[in-house]
Structure 1
Amino acid sequence: MNVKNKGMLLESIINSTNLFYFNQKVAMIHKKNLDVQFKGVDIKNHKLVLKEATIKSKSTVDYYGIYKGKFLAFEAKSTEDKNLSLANIKNHQIEYLSLVESFGGIAFWIFYFKIQNKFILIKHSDLKNIIKNKKTLSFDLCKEQGIILELSFPGVLDFINYI
C-alpha cells in the first residue's frame, strides 16, 4: 500500500461518522487541514496552477469539535503491523491533547489495527501513562486499556458514547 494512503480507510470512516453525528445533531466534528503555503501561482488555459507547496507549521491533531458543549480533539492512527510504532505519535500531538485535557476538554486517540481489523479508542490520559519508555504500542495493551469500537450503520464508527 502507498504510504501516503495508509490511513485513508480510517480517515474515510471517521469523516463519514462525523457527518452522521452532525446530521443527527449529536456533535460537530471537523477534520483539521494542514497549513499549506504555495510559493508560485500561474494561470494557464484559464486554470489556476499552484507550484511548490510547503507545510507552514505543524498541525495539532486530526480532528476537533464540540460534543454536549465541550471541546473535543483526537488523533487517528492506523497500522498495518501487529503493533503500532510510537514513532507515529508525535510530541506536538501529545502536548496538544494534554493541553485540551488541562482546559477541561475531551482528548482521545483512535487506532486501527489492520491485521486484527479492530478499531480501538483510548483516552489521552490513559495513553500517556502506557507509552512511557516504549517504542511500540501492542494491540493487546491497547485492547486492555481502551475500548474496541464497532462499525455500526454503514460507514459509522460509533465512538461518541465512549468519550
Structure 2
Amino acid sequence: MGTWNTRGLRGSTLEDLINHTNDSYRERKLGLIQKIPTPITPIEIDKSSRHITLAYFDQKSTVDYIGTVQGIPVCFDAKECSMKTFPLQNIHPHQIQFMREFEEQGGIAFIILYFTGMDEMYYLPFDQLAGFWKRMEEGGRKSFTYDEVDKGWKIRAHRDMLVHYLEAIQKDLDRRG
C-alpha cells in the first residue's frame, strides 16, 4: 500500500488517477468503466490550432463515470476538496436524482472524494451522500465535514490501481446483503 505522492503522479488530477485505475481494471478484466464526456457546443475555434477557445455546455451532465464491475452496474462522480468541509453545492440536484434512480434499477452509485490537503480518498456510498443531501434540504448545513466521513471507506492505492475503489464496492455490496 502506498500513497499517491509516492507514485510520481503529484501533478495528476483525480480524474487522471481514476482513468489510470480504470485502464488497469479493464486490462485485468475486473471491470469496464468509462469517463462520460460532458457535451459542449463550440462557439469560437482558433483556426490556426483548431482548438476550441469558447464553448457552452449543451445539457446537464449526470455523473463522471459509468460502467459495470463483474456484471454490476456502477456510476460515480469524482470530487476534490482542498478544505475539511465539502460544500454540497458541488453536487447538483439532477446528479442526486440520477444516482437515486440508478440505485433503484439495481446499480451502485457513489462519490470518490479526494481530500487533497490530507492526501486521502474516500468512497462515499450514495445512501450516505443522500443523508447529507436530505439534511441540507431540511434546513441543515449545506456541507459535510471530513470528520463526518466514515474512515472505514478510505480508498487505498494498490500496484498500478492508484484509486483502488473495487474493494469499497465489494464492501458496499456486502453491507447491502
Q: TM-score, normalised by structure 2?
A: 0.78
- Say whether 1:79 aligns with 2:81: yes
Work out which of the residue numbers 31, 36, 47 in structure 2 matches 1:27: 31
2:64 is aligned to: 62
2:92 is aligned to: 90
Say what the alpha-carbon RMSD is for the aligned residues: 2.0
Work out which of the residue numbers 107, 113, 116 in structure 2 matches 1:114: 116
Cα separation, partners in 2 of 1:103 and 1:51, compared to 1, 3 Å: same
Work out which of the residue numbers 160, 163, 170 in structure 2 matches 1:157: 163
Q: Is the 8 A contact 1:20 1:156 kept in 2?
A: no
Q: Is the 8 A contact 2:62 2:94 kept in 1?
A: yes
Size of the aligned set, in residue pairs, is: 153
1:5 is aligned to: none
Q: Is the 8 A contact 2:132 2:143 kept in 1?
A: no
Q: Is the 8 A contact 2:122 2:154 kept in 1?
A: yes
Work out which of the residue numbers 14, 17, 21 in structure 2 matches 1:10: 14
Q: Is the 8 A contact 1:29 1:64 kept in 2?
A: yes
Q: TM-score, normalised by structure 1?
A: 0.84
Work out which of the residue numbers 142, 146, 150 in structure 1 matches 2:149: 142
Q: Answer 1 or 2: higher relative contact order, Cα 8 Å, separation at least 6.
A: 2
**What is the CA–CA distance in structure 1 between the aligned matches of 2:52 and 2:155, rounded to whole Å?**
40
**What is the CA–CA distance in structure 1 between the aligned matches of 2:91 and 2:50, rounded to whole Å?**
35
2:107 is aligned to: 105
Q: Is the 8 A contact 1:28 1:67 kept in 2?
A: yes
**What is the CA–CA distance in structure 2 between the aligned matches of 1:69 and 1:155, rounded to whole Å?**
20
1:3 is aligned to: none
2:41 is aligned to: 37
The gaps in structure 1 that reach 5 residues or longer are: 1-7
Query: What is the percent sequence identity of the aligned residues?
Result: 29
Quote how far apart the aligned CAs of 1:111 are: 0.4
**What is the CA–CA distance in structure 2 between the aligned matches of 1:24 and 1:153, rounded to whole Å?**
13
Quote how far apart the aligned CAs of 1:68 are: 1.6
Q: Is the 8 A contact 2:65 2:75 kept in 1?
A: yes
